[in-house]
Amino acid sequence: MANQLPEAIFPSSNNSMLLIAGPCAIEGLDLCLQIAEFLKKETEKRQIPLVFKASFDKANRSSITSFRGPGMDEGLRILETVGKAFEVPVISDIHLPEQADAAAEVLDIIQIPAFLCRQTDLLAAAARTGKPVNVKKGQFLAPWDMKNVVTKLKESGASQIMLTERGASFGYNNLVVDFRSIPILKNFGYPVIFDATHSVQLPGGAGTHSSGQREFAPVLARSAMAAGADGLFIEVHPEPEKALCDGANSLHLSSLPGLLDQLCAIKAILGESSP
């Protein structure tokens, strides 16, 4: 079995559940601090390890006029501020190999976007930083195809790897989730995260931007936890309707505590039934 993530980020207890959460894109320091404070409070109540996420650049937006974020320099500054303020690990995406080293100076985990999960140079650059790497499974890949992604990372020096399921393309502007992928991905020996909010995205579903069905995200999150996921990736916003990126599939921040209670209960049952 491969090395697990550091204890501070990913406890090894069977009853633990990692939460990666935050806004889709960095809209500003104040909003990130507001969301991080809420997340920290709610996860500490439930002894859930938290990683704060927000993208400094959304490079794969539907339209050239779509909001992308503040860029790498300002975005990393904001993430560093949030991480220090709440003593919480931070994660964000990189899109180019040359971004890896600068990102690694701030990020606790480097994330590879789903559309770029097969980009060998990007994976190798992330691996060479020595930081944990979270790779989102491409919407165009079968779960067993991620073995090649894992091999690229391992042969480039990575030992701390997470794999994230986020649905598969199904016809036009739609995704579906095959929950068999969670045990299949877990067979590679690394933690498996389920992206509950991007899995209900309708890519390009609103013409110049993506749409989504946030009402189904809790259903998928509960199902993924029951299927054995080690953690959840959930984008949240205090006012999703006003979010500058992926608001249609982001959860209302106020709805998260109830969902966390349900997820913890499911995780506890699984832990109790383990041999």
- Positions marked active-site: 14, 58, 246
Report the alpha-carbon distance of residue 275 to residue 40 in Å, rounded.
Answer: 32
> Which DSSP string do the residues of 162-207 spell out, in sequence order?
EEEE--EE-STT-EE--TTHHHHHHTTSS-EEEETTGGGEETTTTS
| CB contact at 8 A, 269 and 228 | no
* Beta strands 50-53; 251-252: pairing state: unpaired
Q: Kindly state the helix (H) or strand (E) to which residue 268 belongs, with its residue range.
A: helix 256-273
| CB contact at 8 A, 108 and 89 | yes
* Beta strands 168-169; 175-176: pairing state: antiparallel
Q: Count CB atoms within 10 A of the CB of residue 176.
A: 11
155, with CB counted inside 10 A (0-12, 13-18, 19+), is exposed
Please, what is the angle between helix 120-128 and helix 146-155, to 10°?
Answer: 40
